Structure 1
Amino acid sequence: MTHAAIDRATVADRALTEDLGTAPGPSVPDPVFGAADRLRGTVVGAVLTIVAVITRFWGLTSPTDNGTPVFDEKHYVPQAWQVLTGGELLEDNPAYGLVVHPPVGKWMLALGEWMFGYGPMGWRFMSAVCGVVIVLAVYLVVRRMSRSTLVGAIAGVFALCDGVLFVQSRMGMLDIFQAVFAVLAFTALIADRDQMRARMHRVWEQGRIGDSPFGPRLGFRWYRFAAGVMLGLACGVKWSGAYFVVFFTLLSIGFDIANRRAYHVRRPWVGVLRRDLVPSGFSLAVMPFVMYVASFAPWFASETSVYRYSVGEAVGTGGPFSWVPSAIRSFWYYESGILEFHAGLTNAAGNHHPWESKPWAWPMSLRPMLYAIDYGPDQCGGSDCVRAQMLIGTPALWWLALPMVVWGLWRLVSRRDWRWAAVLVAYAAGIVPWFAEIDRQMYFFYATAIAPFLVMGLALACGDILRAAPRGASSERRVLAVLIVSIYVAVVIANMIWLWPILTGEPITNTEWGRQIWLPSWS
């Protein structure tokens, strides 16, 4: 009897035993992907998006430094304007000597400046748009992972109320762009997982799982391809996007192995090697590299871009790589200069900053950043007061980061909960690699990329609490679970409201300013 015939018989036996009410044969996952209440889910998503638009765009033009950019906006906002006005989509390289970040983030800023001019709205418009997109994407992906509109809504509320995502959505800096592309790549990978499960389930129902010991070919995977494009754009904002390329590629391969094992493919690991590894590598490793190089197309096309014609000047014309086209060799020289710049930006080399922080301080937002501050009676109608803007993670969220990680690891080990594997891998991609270069000068705004995955994990934890007391449980247990989650969500919202003045730069009294500084490390 062939394997295909055996599998078809297994399917028939499973259907028969289910009809008889006896134990079925080999089990496979239920083909349930996402929450079923589409109408309610759409309404909830629309409400979250509207609130995100209001909060991200309200008072977006403040604060400024006497009408000029604040903090690191002073670097990227003028560069974006030069991208827009220079005629070649390039910064004014002769003025800066070396541009140390790829161009995608500055193109995003330039788009806002093209629409609204060289002013605060122009500087920050695209950041605010990306902040709204992050809120919606967090809601949608958690709703899909948890199969619950309620848990997705909790994640959306947390994304709305996180101080890091909020402030970075209102600044003309680069990190919010990297965060949005990382979140979109993650969302695409989760959608790809569900789509591949659906395809595998269809093969199972058709009785074709045993046609090959390696399992079926699953066809072209547009979601995974889209994830690769998003990862390439993340790298095109900052090099640290490469960390997400590595971690998300491993996550996708893990999903593929689990998928083939769940449907009883006889050789799942070899099946992944033969069926999935090369396409995964192309979509999630090669495509980001192609996208990154493509983002430098204006550099290759320009006659005046920095280091464009280094061969023959800074780079010799001979040597073992003389066969490589001069444009590629010049590009390599340019990229190696950027690497040298970042490698030299270390504490050992004397690069210190009063608001510097190391990655061990990021999970609990122990060392936030002061972006802008102004004192004086003119700030609030004649009385002494302060107008300050700080990048600070909402304590009700960030102070639970380590418990969230511990809980997620427990769920992963004890329950094999794939949702926690996904969130923890994404969270690790944004923080773990930074421990490898601890002497480097670092700042808390580097943690922008982990903020979406922090709120996802906390929302999943709330979902776990609610699932621990399902509808069939005792009323007291159910009420307690709902009460715990409701109180926590209310605390998060209240914490955001409390921090609002120092997240937006609203004028407050000196006494109120002192109350906002909860820890000595915040000042």
Structure 2
Amino acid sequence: MVSVGDRPARAGAVPVGRRPATSAPGPTLGVRFPVERPMPTDRLRSWLLAILLAFIGGILRFYRLGFPSDHGTPVFDEKHYVPQAWQMLRNFGVEDNPGFELVVHPPLAKQLIALGEWVWGYDSMGWRVSAAVAGTVCVLLVVRIARRLTRSTMFGVVAGALFLCDGVSFVQSRMGMLDIFLTVFVLASFGAMVLDRDDVRARMAVVVAEGRVGVSPFGPRLGVRWWRFTAGVLIGMACAVKWSGVYWVAAFGVLSLGWDVAARRAAGVRRPWLGVWVRDVGPALWALAAIPILTYLAGWWAWFASETGVDRHEVGQEIGVGGPFSFMPDALRSLWYYSGHVLSFHANLTTSTSAPHPWESKPWAWPMSLRPMLYYLNNSDQTCGAKDCVSATMLVGTPALWWASPLALVWAVWRTVTRFDWRHVAIMVGYGAGYLPWFLDIDRQMYYFYATPMAPFLIFGLTLMLGDVLGPALAGTERRATGLLIISLYVGLAVANFAWLWPIMVGDSITSAHWDAEMWLPSWR
């Protein structure tokens, strides 16, 4: 088994981050593009393992999926999105009830919820089935992306097993809310970005092998990059779920250009930074800015096609027919007006000093799950076999995973500084895009479920750290055996921790004493 961190090179390879000296323009002879460790050859087995883990994840997510409900009605924020999705289903994909002026997120996730309601009906199973499917897809994506990051099928499986044990993504996969849909599109976009990086380096290796890298001081044109285009479409779909998807638009754009600089430097391009400005910035803006915008607008297809959508025909009413933007289509001007209402809502959604929400949490509490989210609580359930019973559903991060996040972050910074490991950089970018922007407006009302898209990147960071624990393939037998033991113990700890928290994540009836034992921190109450 080849471990994480191995970097076998062949004779004549150029170290990553360095470029060979070239005395004159023209072909760079005798230079080889740095060889990264190839993907494992067990393609079929790796897919079977990934599908198996996704299947297990699906079983867990669909277990008693229709429970709990509030006497047959949605719980917590499901009360916003579930009826809006039902109206979309009955009204050709659009919300037009004036009573739903509080429509504060784009339509895509609610349309996906509506698909489940179409299949199963307007009940708790119907409005959660799409979220459960999205959460199951996330398991598959985590396994495949981790395998590509580590070049190891074993660590792809390790990442999948850890993700199965993550309480945040698990519970959100069982709720008719939006954040699991945001997560699946962000995660898929990140996977496409990693594939684009590998594709670019493969193309650059061909150019170097053919001696054409020195023809221009800017390096070669790289042609159409379909994986980056795919990443743009997927991140645009994330924005069509929630506006917070725009954080990853910016983050992935910078990450892509950074990878392009690294690839051109490694290939020996004489002006790599300028080469990126000349060759890559324009196509990157198209793929990771214009395409997401167009995809986002496409998410409003039903609203554009409607005659009765909320604020659909405001030009000539609340919006004047003239003005500097009169050249724009009326539909786009109306959407801009509508979006202004949404922005106003979010800007004024601040923490109340007189009556704060009892389960609100600020971002500094998220990395270690210091303030979970209680979705459902029933103290009158008497099915636990004791006098006092509790049935609850709580969004809580598995401590074995989330309490290790500071260590994973410090390790990622250390590996970045000492080894210039691009994988840790990518994971910190993805994690940071879901975390740091929330500090810009700390007075805003926030909840722990906002951290859902951070979960896959936490798992990737933990997986890479475990790979370094295992050590390189050339390490001694004793070192490898010790590393495998530590990894096995940690995965077992995560599974045991998840199993312990299971009753309070799925609403099982437990005794009051058991409930008290589940509350590990005072802030969990």
Shorter-normalised TM-score: what interval?
Answer: over 0.9
Change (3 A) 1:228 1:331: same
- 1:221 paired residue number: 225
- Cα deviation for residue 351 of structure 1 reads 7.0
1:356 paired with 2:360, answer: yes
Q: Within 2, Cα distance between the matches of 1:322 and 1:135? A: 47
DSSP 3-state at the match of 1:371: strand
- Cα deviation for residue 416 of structure 1 reads 0.4
- Cα deviation for residue 115 of structure 1 reads 1.1
- 1:59 paired residue number: 64
Unmatched runs of 5 consecutive residues or more in structure 2 = 1-21
Question: In structure 2, what residue type is equivalent to 1:145?
Answer: L
TM-score (normalised: structure 1): 0.93
Q: Deviations over 1:38-87 (max 9, x none)?
A: 2331232122122112111111111111222111111111111100012x
Q: Within 2, Cα distance between the matches of 1:323 and 1:41? A: 54
Q: Within 2, Cα distance between the matches of 1:207 and 1:366? A: 56
Question: In structure 2, what residue type is equivalent to 1:65?
Answer: D
DSSP 3-state at the match of 1:390: strand
1:423 paired with 2:444, answer: no
The answer to whether the 8 A contact 2:218-2:274 is kept is: yes
Q: Within 1, Cα distance between the matches of 2:27 and 2:312? A: 64
Q: Within 2, Cα distance between the matches of 1:166 and 1:84? A: 26
What is the alpha-carbon root mean square deviation over aligned residues? 1.7
- 1:90 paired residue number: 94
Q: Within 2, Cα distance between the matches of 1:138 and 1:371? A: 26
Of 226, 237, 242, which aligns to 2:241? 237
- Cα deviation for residue 114 of structure 1 reads 0.9
1:76 paired with 2:84, answer: no
- Cα deviation for residue 182 of structure 1 reads 0.1
- Cα deviation for residue 99 of structure 1 reads 1.1
Q: Deviations over 1:404-446 (max 9, x none)?
A: 1111011001000000011010000000011001110000000
DSSP 3-state at the match of 2:377: strand
The answer to whether the 8 A contact 1:4-1:207 is kept is: no
- 1:322 paired residue number: 326
Change (3 A) 1:351 1:231: farther
Matches within 5 A, 1:439-458: 439-458=443-462
Percent identity reads 54
Of 485, 499, 522, which aligns to 1:520? 522
Question: In structure 1, what residue type is equivalent to 2:227?
Answer: Y
Unmatched runs of 5 consecutive residues or more in structure 1 = 11-25
- 2:113 paired residue number: 109
Of stretches 263-272 and 440-449 in structure 1, the one that deviates more from structure 2 is 263-272
* Larger RCO (alpha carbons 8 Å, 6+ apart): 2
TM-score (normalised: structure 2): 0.93
Matches within 5 A, 1:149-164: 149-164=153-168
Of 383, 408, 416, which aligns to 2:387? 383
1:119 paired with 2:119, answer: no
- Cα deviation for residue 31 of structure 1 reads 5.1
1:287 paired with 2:291, answer: yes
Q: Within 2, Cα distance between the matches of 1:321 and 1:481? A: 63
- 2:340 paired residue number: 336
The answer to whether the 8 A contact 1:79-1:92 is kept is: no
Q: Within 2, Cα distance between the matches of 1:4 and 1:41? A: 44
- 2:28 paired residue number: 7
The answer to whether the 8 A contact 1:389-1:504 is kept is: yes
1:306 paired with 2:327, answer: no
Question: In structure 1, what residue type is equivalent to 2:28?
Answer: D
Change (3 A) 1:6 1:376: closer
- Cα deviation for residue 155 of structure 1 reads 0.7
Q: Deviations over 1:90-114 (max 9, x none)?
A: 1243121241110001011011111
Count of residue pairs brought into register by the alignment: 504
Change (3 A) 1:378 1:92: farther
- Cα deviation for residue 319 of structure 1 reads 3.2
Q: Within 1, Cα distance between the matches of 2:188 and 2:443? A: 31
- 2:495 paired residue number: 493
- Cα deviation for residue 377 of structure 1 reads 4.8
Question: In structure 1, what residue type is equivalent to 2:64?
Answer: G
The answer to whether the 8 A contact 2:88-2:95 is kept is: yes
Of 272, 277, 280, which aligns to 2:276? 272
Q: Within 2, Cα distance between the matches of 1:221 and 1:195? A: 8
The answer to whether the 8 A contact 1:137-1:184 is kept is: yes
DSSP 3-state at the match of 1:379: coil
Q: Within 2, Cα distance between the matches of 1:131 and 1:482? A: 29
- 2:133 paired residue number: 129
Change (3 A) 1:184 1:82: same
Matches within 5 A, 1:205-220: 205-220=209-224
More helix by proportion, 1 or 2?
Answer: 1
Q: Within 2, Cα distance between the matches of 1:434 and 1:491? A: 31
Of stretches 63-72 and 126-135 in structure 1, the one that deviates more from structure 2 is 63-72
